[in-house]
């Protein structure tokens, strides 16, 4: 039986990152994947959906530009778009595979092996690898489980991945549907609503059980997203509950019940069910292994399961399901096994992006979370219309919002950026949150001009009472307030 210092099961973002970190320690490592390298982080997930979003955004911008010159936009070919997405996925997968091949033919060769097959834990150290009818068993001193997740199915819905689909089925459609209902108004559902409405070929319906989409987000963020969706002809079913869905004549008929008790029936070409993801741990281990699980995934303490030599990372756990978080957890688990991490794994400074219209990026707490945690805070908001770069791009829709503690230290609690270049504007703040720093470092940092990040500097200067633009003079575009016991009060210098 071949022995390894570490066996990683799953070659998605977290598993691949773990294996690459393990060879830094020059430990004999086996990476096992039953399907495709990259996992949902590449195929039917983050990379593929974001490529759809980029192409949709380009298409919408192109139509807008042509409209400016009174030119009719040409018809968009679905197959061309689909092929571009597939090329992006293949490009990433090929790079990951080529990277491993080159490592196995380098001085890293003693430390890295890769096997394709389905892995199952027989004991806390023995792993069976099945390829068809053939099986092979290996020994692992340590094990990292990184088998990821899959779209959640609702058993009462007729999901066939052709007419009623999850995100997995979207990739294989033959053309833009003329209409589509999306079940679920969370991040993924709203991203797909943005994508398909952006191409301009699909009438999108979005079912929302509350009075607004993205219930975990601040109202000022949601207002912009909802307005843009509805301007793009998205029908948002607010305060509604799906009580039935059928496939009739290769189309989707669904019935909604609203909060007032009324009912309504709709007919569309396709349906997308986007109600979260579930962890892939079925048949992953023999019962006698005894790994603790919950409804959300494998229970773990700082990536370590209740079995000392077995770790769980990425979507398999109940932690945040993001590619960057999964990679962080994979690397951290290896550092716990073979070394000593320089700092404890924390989630407070995790940066996030929502690929909507406009783009939304954030780090740390938003106002909704601060209120739920009963934290007193200061908050400054600055609209994109005051930022030269946004004016030059001819798109001033959006804002920057910065939250700090309501004391002299003014330590950063979080930031939200809504608008163009949002994702590139938050990283410096993420670093300061991880360092438990205040805002002084941001105040004097020299930003390139013109850039969106100049708006962050102006936010900080407002909090310090030395801004270029004064909130009292540009009320509506700027604001500087404090929230104490849930009550707002303007800050006057």
For 22-50, how does the pLDDT look when each residue is reduced to its tens digit (9 = 90+)?
999 999 999 999 988 998 888 877 899 99
**Rounded-to-10 torsion of CA 14, 309, 350, 341:** -110
Where are the CATH 3.50.50.60 domain residues in the chain? 2-43+84-150+278-338, 164-275
Give me the phi and psi of 80, to 5 degrees please: -65, -45
What architecture (CATH level 2) is domain 164-275? 3-Layer(bba) Sandwich (3.50)
What does the pLDDT look like over 449-460, one tens digit per residue? 899 989 999 999
CA distance 131 to 140: 19
Given this model, what pLDDT does residue 226 score?
97
As a whole number, mean pLDDT of residues 103-126 equals: 95
Whole-prediction pTM value?
Answer: 0.92
Per-residue confidence (pLDDT) for residue 265, from 0 to 100: 98
- The per-residue pLDDT for 428 is 76
- pLDDT bin (cut points 50, 70, 90) of residue 188 is very high
Residue 446 pLDDT greater than 80, yes or no = no
What CATH homologous superfamily does 2-43+84-150+278-338 map to?
FAD/NAD(P)-binding domain (3.50.50.60)
Q: Which CATH number fits domain 358-490: 3.40.50.300, 3.30.390.30, 3.40.50.1820, 3.30.230.10?
A: 3.30.390.30
384 pLDDT more than 90 = yes
Given a contact cutoff of 8 angstroms between Cβ atoms, the answer to whether 265 and 205 are in contact is: no
pLDDT at 83 over 90: yes
CATH 3.30.390.30 in the chain is located at 358-490
Percent of the chain with pLDDT over 70: 100
Structure confidence by residue, pLDDT tens digits, 260-315: 999 999 999 999 999 999 999 999 999 889 999 987 789 999 999 999 999 999 99
pLDDT of residue 2: 95
Query: Is pLDDT above 80 for 251?
Result: yes
Residue 362 φ/ψ, nearest 5 degrees: -155, 165
Share of the chain above pLDDT 90, in %: 76
Contact 62, 76 (CB under 8 A): no
Please state the φ and ψ torsions of residue 118, each to the nearest 5 degrees.
-100, 120
pLDDT value for 436: 75
């Amino acid at each position: 039986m071949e022995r390894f210092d570490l066996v990683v099961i799953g070659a998605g973002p977290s598993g691949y990152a773990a294996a690459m970190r393990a060879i830094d320690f020059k430990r004999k490592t086996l990476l096992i994947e039953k399907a495709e390298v990259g996992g949902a982080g590449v195929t039917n997930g983050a990379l593929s959906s974001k490529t759809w979003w980029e192409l949709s955004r380009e298409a919408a911008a192109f139509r807008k530009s042509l409209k400016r010159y009174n030119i009719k936009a040409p018809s968009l070919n679905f197959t061309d778009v689909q092929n571009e997405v597939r090329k992006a996925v293949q490009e990433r997968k090929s790079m990951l595979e080529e990277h491993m091949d080159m490592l196995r033919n380098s001085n890293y060769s003693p430390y890295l092996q890769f096997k394709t097959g389905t892995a199952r834990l027989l004991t806390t150290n023995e792993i069976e690898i099945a390829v068809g009818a053939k099986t092979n068993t290996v020994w692992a001193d340590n094990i990292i489980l990184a088998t990821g997740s899959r779209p959640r199915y609702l058993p009462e819905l007729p999901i066939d991945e052709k007419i009623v689909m999850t995100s997995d089925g979207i990739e294989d459609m033959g053309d833009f549907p003329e209409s589509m209902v999306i079940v679920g108004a969370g991040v993924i559902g709203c991203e797909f609503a943005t994508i398909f409405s952006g191409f301009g070929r699909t009438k999108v319906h979005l079912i929302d059980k509350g009075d607004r989409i993205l219930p975990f987000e601040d109202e000022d963020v949601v207002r912009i997203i909802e307005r843009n969706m509805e301007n793009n002809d998205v029908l948002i079913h607010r305060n509604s509950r799906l009580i039935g869905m059928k496939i009739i004549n290769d189309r989707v008929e669904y019935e909604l019940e609203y909060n007032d008790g009324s009912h309504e029936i709709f007919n569309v070409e396709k349906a997308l069910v986007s109600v979260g993801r579930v962890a892939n741990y079925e048949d992953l281990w023999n019962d006698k292994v005894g790994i603790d699980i919950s409804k959300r995934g494998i229970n773990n303490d700082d990536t370590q399961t209740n079995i000392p030599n077995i770790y769980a990372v990425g979507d398999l756990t109940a932690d945040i399901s993001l590619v960057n978080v999964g990679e962080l957890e994979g690397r951290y688990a290896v550092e716990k096994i073979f070394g000593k991490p320089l700092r404890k794994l924390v989630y407070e400074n995790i940066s996030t992006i929502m690929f909507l219209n406009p783009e939304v990026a954030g780090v740390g707490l938003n106002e909704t979370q601060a209120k739920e945690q009963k934290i007193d805070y200061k908050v400054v908001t600055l609209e994109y219309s005051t930022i030269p770069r946004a004016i030059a791009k001819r798109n001033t829709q959006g804002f920057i919002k910065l939250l700090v503690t309501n004391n002299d230290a003014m330590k950063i609690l979080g930031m939200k950026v809504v608008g163009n270049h949002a994702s590139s504007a938050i990283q410096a703040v993420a670093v300061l949150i991880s360092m438990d720093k205040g805002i002084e470092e941001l105040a004097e940092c020299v930003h390139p001009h013109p850039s969106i990040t100049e708006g962050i500097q102006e936010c900080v200067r407002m909090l310090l009472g030395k801004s270029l633009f004064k909130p009292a003079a540009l009320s509506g575009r700027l604001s500087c307030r404090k929230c104490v016991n849930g009550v707002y009060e303007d800050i006057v210098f």
